Chain A
Amino acid sequence: MSSDRSLKDRPLSPHLQIYKPQITSVLSISHRISGIFLSFGLLAMFVFVFLLAIGQDYYALWQCFSNSLIGEVILMGWVLALFFHMFNGVRHLFWDYGLGLSLSVSKWSGLFVCFATIIISIFIGIISLGLIL
């Protein structure tokens, strides 16, 4: 960032709503949305450690949250967002090395990211409900 002047001259990101949604663009914006959503998950992790550190009575608040239906839905949302962001992030790391940039490969890797996210989230959901293991 050299000066305010040069920052003002830079264009903003194009507006999403004028483009036809495609798997590549939908996954790209989902990566950002899941990242923002995971910021709240990280805050929750901090709150978890904070409540654990200040005592058993306060930790019970966390257990109240994580055992409630809304808590379970939010926690499952973070699992879904975490694995999506993780798999799609690996896709981004390959792109940074110049691998898999062609249209066909990025479509296939995008589909693979969705598939892997859904499979692992269902798996974790089943474990958490105590149905297996």
Chain B
Amino acid sequence: MTTKTVTIRNRAGIHARPAALIAQTANRFASEILIERDNTRINAKSIMGIITMAASYNTQLTICADGTDEKEAVEALDLLFENKFEED
């Protein structure tokens, strides 16, 4: 199990496009990947789930991955958050 806490840095928060990016990235890995926000856990491979979190600017999320490629998965997702989903 690999976990990492990330902060949302793009102004608009996680709307449809970043959600799609996250889901696409998560789907590349075989590990089970969950994103946690205030005790709510959702599957990172589902776009609708990610949008449901309604995560806005500066929200803290925790990425948890479990599986054979968990480290790579968390790194790849972390990079998306770091790059502000190529926004701003």
B and A form one assembly: no
